Structure 1
């Protein structure tokens, strides 16, 4: 799994609050373009976010499903992004004083993306997740400051 970590100036509960708002997903997840629906039970196990990936006019409708949720410390997801395939994404939130260390672990589970050599996958996922965590920090810290 590719692993990326960032310290966010907020508590795990404040970070979790943003993760619980599925409508915010495209604000911080690189590649997610728009939300079509958020199931009412999000982020409970089995709940899905219905989103689109890509850029207009080449959008693909897909979804992300909760595999495990332990508020406010762990959210594990199965993200679909065809044609690349599906990925398992684990977000861990660890309190460090008054801040939170957020770690994203991700790897392709199946589909054509699995054919890419692991070092190249890790590099690509690492770049993407650095930016995703940067965006998540902006959203969380902006809410905390506001």
Structure 2
């Protein structure tokens, strides 16, 4: 099964979209499930840097981090999002210029832990819903910067 991919055209330049992705403090504004940011490594989004976040809702918050696996400014950002004991996911943001707009895709799937144990056919609809909303929120932020 192909990994779940969600796409959207954002009415902002790749530079503006990247400026949102490269500000780790903004992730709770657009990532569905992110509750708060606790710390952002200074070189974010350089490879190996991390954002330290909480997911879920009070009182059931999980503190963990997301690590940059690959970073190509204004083109591609590959993340390893952690939320143990649920597990880890690989999240790939890809940006493609389209005139003054940016076509953004998110490809995400569980890669370890209990979240990866079930069949992908069950994860795909939930990840698609989550990432449709994530891209909608990302567009709100990038288009209004």
Deviation of the 1:83 alpha carbon: 2.2
RMSD over aligned Cα, in angstroms?
A: 0.6
SS of alignment partner, residue 72 of structure 1: coil
Which whole-Å CA distance do the structure 2 matches of 1:61 and 1:92 have between them? 26
Corresponding position: 1:61 with 2:63: yes
The answer as to 2:129 corresponding to 1:127 is yes
User: How far did 1:45 drift?
Assistant: 0.2
Aligned equivalents of 1:25, 1:43: Cα separation in 2: 12
- Give the structure 2 partner of residue 41 of structure 1: 43
Distance, in Å, in 2 between the alignment partners of 1:69 and 1:109 is 19
Equivalent runs, 1:1-146 vs 2, <5 Å: 1-143=3-145
Name stretches of at least 5 consecutive residues in structure 2 with no aligned partner.
none
Provide the rounded CA distance (Å) in 2 between the counterparts of 1:106 and 1:19.
16
Structure 1 runs of 4+ with >2 Å offset = none
Long gaps (5+) in structure 1: none
TM-score by length of 1: 0.96
DSSP-derived class of the 1:42 partner: coil
CA distance in 1, matches of 2:8, 2:85: 29
Distance 1:60 1:113 in 2: 15
Paired with 1:55 and 1:142, the residues of 2 have a C-alpha distance of 27
How many residue pairs end up in the alignment?
Answer: 143
Hey, what's the Cα distance between the residues in 1 that align with 2:85 and 2:9? Answer: 32
- Structure 1, residues 21-64: CA drift from partner, whole Å, max 9, x if none? 00000000000000000000100000000000000111010000
